[in-house]
Structure 1
Amino acid sequence: MIILGLTGSIGMGKSTLARMLREAGIPVHDADATVHRLLAAGGKAVAAISAAFPAVSRADGSIDRRALGQQVFGNTPALRRLEAILHPLVRADKAAFLARCRRRRCRLVALDVPLLYETGGDRQCDAVMVVSAPYFLQRQRVLARPGMTAETFAQIRARQCPDAEKRRRADVVVPSGLGKAVTRRAVKRALTHLKRG
């Protein structure tokens, strides 16, 4: 089974690319979606995060992600505490996904991980696909998100490996700033190449 790492900086189009991979029949494990499940009511991370960050618990039993973000951005010790809770749970979910895919004899699977290089997740991958767009477009996309500020965007970018470094290290770079048709063609070419081995 070929494991494809899918990554890209915030606002580069990872979600669109992951959707294209799913449409092509490729199983995709989404690390962000896993975190959302872990923080939802009944999620496996709720108790530990509520204990570590009491002010972020909601009455419905979920975690207020915005309040949690406010507590950890710019606070390295708090961020490390959060990562110590979440990362093992995300890794366990990813391992279960890969085990299911192996049992189903999938030829190719993708791991959608925003911090793939930053966490060393690329070492588990046979190839890495990076989605990239020009900075002006990245900034425009990110600042259009509800609640996003230029300051938060700058903090997120500071934690991420620079786009140029990601592109340099990637096996495949998919452009997302030239329209979806161009992105789709690049994905199709990459998948054909990867499936050939």
Structure 2
Amino acid sequence: MMILGLTGSIGMGKSTATRAFAAHGAMIWDADAEVHRLMAEGGAAVAEVGTEFPEAVIEKAAGGAYIDRKVLGKSIFQDGAALRRLEAILHPLVRHGERRFLSIAEGQRCRLAVLDIPLLFETGGAARCDATAVVTAPAFVQRARVMRRANMTASKFDAIVARQMPDWEKRRRADFIIQTGQDKRESLRAVGEIARILATRRGDHWPRCWPAGSDRLLSGRLLGVSDA
């Protein structure tokens, strides 16, 4: 089973790329979606995160609770100690979800598993992948896309970009580059070519690169630095 780590900065078109890989038969794991599940009602992280950050807990009238990620984001913004406490809770849970996905993928004889991780290079996640791909677009296209989002401001966008690894550095590190700033057909063609190339290879990172213990796989969307 080949494991492809897929990443890209905010507004680069990563969601389009993941859908295209799925159309080519790949199984997709989304780190952001995993964090959403963990902090939704009934999620495995709700109780412990709520204990550390009670201001972020939303109690439902009918019982149950969930974590308000916007409130949580404000609580940890520019607070390194708070961020580390949150990471200590979430990292093992997110890693467990990743391992569970790969185990299922292996059981289904999946040939290509795509790990959609916004902060793939920033958190060292690339070391667990057989190959990596970055989704990219010109800076003016990126800005235009993001500024169309609700509640987005220029200062917020600039702050998000400043916390991410520069796009040029991601492109330098990646094995494959998917351009999304021009013709969508070219982007889809690039995904198809990557899928074709990886179909000829045999991965060796699973399960060798998934030892017991946590690592720095934390969703960029939770921290407000991914293409949510």
Band the TM-score falls in, shorter-chain normalisation: over 0.9
Q: How far off is 1:158 after superposition? A: 2.4
In structure 1, the partner of 2:102 is: 98
Does structure 1 conserve the Cα–Cα contact (< 8 Å) formed by 2:25 and 2:112? no
Q: How do residues 14-163 of structure 1 correspond to structure 2 at under 5 angstroms?
A: 14-60=14-60, 61-163=65-167
What is the CA RMSD across the aligned residues, in angstroms? Answer: 1.2
Distance 2:81 2:99 in 1: 27
Does structure 2 conserve the Cα–Cα contact (< 8 Å) formed by 1:73 and 1:155? no
Deviations along 1:157-191, one digit per CA (max 9) or x if unpaired, are: 22221110000000000001113211101101111
In structure 2, the partner of 1:10 is: 10
In structure 1, the partner of 2:172 is: 168
Deviations along 1:20-48, one digit per CA (max 9) or x if unpaired, are: 11122110000001111111101111111
What SS is found at the alignment partner of 2:58? coil
The structure-2 alpha-carbon separation of the partners of 1:157 and 1:84, relative to structure 1 and needing over 3 Å to count, comes to farther
TM-score (norm 1): 0.95
Does structure 2 conserve the Cα–Cα contact (< 8 Å) formed by 1:74 and 1:155? no
What SS is found at the alignment partner of 2:66? coil
Does structure 2 conserve the Cα–Cα contact (< 8 Å) formed by 1:2 and 1:126? yes
Equivalences, count: 197
Q: Give the stretch that moved more between structures: 138-147 or 174-183.
A: 138-147
What SS is found at the alignment partner of 2:67? coil
What SS is found at the alignment partner of 1:178? coil
Q: How far off is 1:73 after superposition? A: 2.1
Distance 1:72 1:185 in 2: 40
Deviations along 1:114-134, one digit per CA (max 9) or x if unpaired, are: 000111110000000100011
In structure 2, the partner of 1:185 is: 189
Deviations along 1:98-152, one digit per CA (max 9) or x if unpaired, are: 0111111111110000000111110000000100011111112222222223333
- Provide runs of 4+ in structure 1 moved above 4 Å: none
Distance 1:150 1:89 in 2: 34
In structure 1, the partner of 2:219 is: none
The structure-2 alpha-carbon separation of the partners of 1:182 and 1:67, relative to structure 1 and needing over 3 Å to count, comes to same
TM-score (norm 2): 0.83
